[in-house]
Amino acid sequence: MKDSKLGPEAYAASRLASRQAANELQDRFETEGKPFGWFEALYARADGERAAIPWADAAPRFKLEAWLAQSGLGAGRAVDVGCGLGDNARILSAQGWTVTAFDLSETAISWARKRMADQFPKASIEFHTADLFDLPSIWRGAFELVHETYNLQALPRDKVADAMRYISSLAAPGGTVVVITRARDRDEVPDGPPWPLSRDDLDGFREAGLEEIQFEEFFDQRDDPIRHFLAVYRRANTKRNYE
């Protein structure tokens, strides 16, 4: 199995344990007042073993691939927010996009770079360690396509609205923002991580100045399918100050 030294049974057991480890790290770092610290700690602890990262499937998200295939968008500059091990970025690259991919975790970024060099040498991706909440100014309004999967649902609840503003700020005039997230009803109380988003939570993108152009509910392809939303937004085609 790619990026794993384990056989199928040990892999399944380790993958299950990784969710518990992620929850414990998230709790610990939250208590220490470092709510983002658990991401780097989890990647570092994995020491190159993919089974230790609960979201690392070594494959692009099927819904992103399906959406890209029918989007009708021409290629341009794309950014993958919170790219993890880089599989969504590589599908964007394979579709002809010029891809920038970033993640807060330095370990995730070196791991992603190595995976691409070893397994997908044709993928052309510029990887960066960067914080969504402290973006390089040259990225503001720079991308025709902004892709966000599963980051919002992993962030501290009180940061989600700000995160939507920063994600939106990456889109060029006329640019598209595609968001994939676990879904919940408005009245459901999420017990995360991950903390699924409600339709109302996603209004943050409209409040950030984007127009919603597609919204879909779907279930993923697991044995016990999980409810998701796909939401697509567009920035108006006028130049503006993104600050």
Q: d(Cα 220, Cα 148) in Å, to the nearest integer?
A: 16
**Which of the ranges 2-10, 82-90, 207-215, 219-227 carries the binding residues for ligand SAM, by CB under 6 A?**
82-90
Token digits of residue 72: 């009708």
**Kind and range of the H or E element at 28?**
helix 8-31
Burial class of 30 by CB neighbour count within 10 A (0 to 12, 13 to 18, 19+): middle
**Which of the ranges 13-21, 114-122, 146-154, 208-216 carries the binding residues for ligand SAM, by CB under 6 A?**
146-154
Residue 48: closest CA among 103, 112, 119? 112
Q: d(Cα 45, Cα 107) in Å, to the nearest integer?
A: 10
Q: Per rule CB under 6 A, is residue 170 in the interface with ligand SAM?
A: no
For ligand SAM, which residue of 3, 93, 103, 184 counts as binding (CB under 6 A)? Answer: 103
**Which of the ranges 112-120, 129-137, 170-178, 211-219 carries the binding residues for ligand SAM, by CB under 6 A?**
129-137
Of 150 and 233, the one with the shorter C-beta distance to ligand SAM is: 150
**Which of the ranges 79-87, 111-119, 213-221, 225-233 carries the binding residues for ligand SAM, by CB under 6 A?**
79-87
For ligand SAM (CB under 6 A), the number of binding residues is 19
For ligand SAM, which residue of 21, 99, 132, 231 counts as binding (CB under 6 A)? Answer: 132
- Peptide bond between residue 193 and the one before it cis (omega within 30 degrees of 0): yes
Tell me which DSSP letter residue 183 carries. B
Q: Which amino acid, 60?
A: P
**Which of the ranges 26-34, 77-85, 206-214, 231-239 carries the binding residues for ligand SAM, by CB under 6 A?**
77-85
For ligand SAM, which residue of 24, 126, 131, 211 counts as binding (CB under 6 A)? Answer: 131
Q: Per rule CB under 6 A, is residue 139 in the interface with ligand SAM?
A: no
For ligand SAM, which residue of 51, 146, 154, 164 counts as binding (CB under 6 A)? Answer: 154
Smallest separation, CB 53 to ligand SAM (Å): 8
Q: What binding mask, one character per residue, do residues 50-69 give for ligand SAM by CB under 6 A, x or -?
A: -----x-----x--------
Question: Distance between terminal CA atoms of the chain?
Answer: 45
Phi then psi for residue 167, to 5 deg, are -60, -45
What CA–CA distances, in Å, run from 96 to 33, 124, 128, 222?
Answer: 41, 9, 19, 29
Q: Per rule CB under 6 A, is residue 78 in the interface with ligand SAM?
A: no
- The full length of the chain comes to 243
Residue 231: closest CA among 156, 153, 172, 157? 153
List interacting residues with ligand SAM (CB under 6 A): 36, 39, 55, 61, 82-84, 88, 103-105, 108, 131-133, 149-151, 154
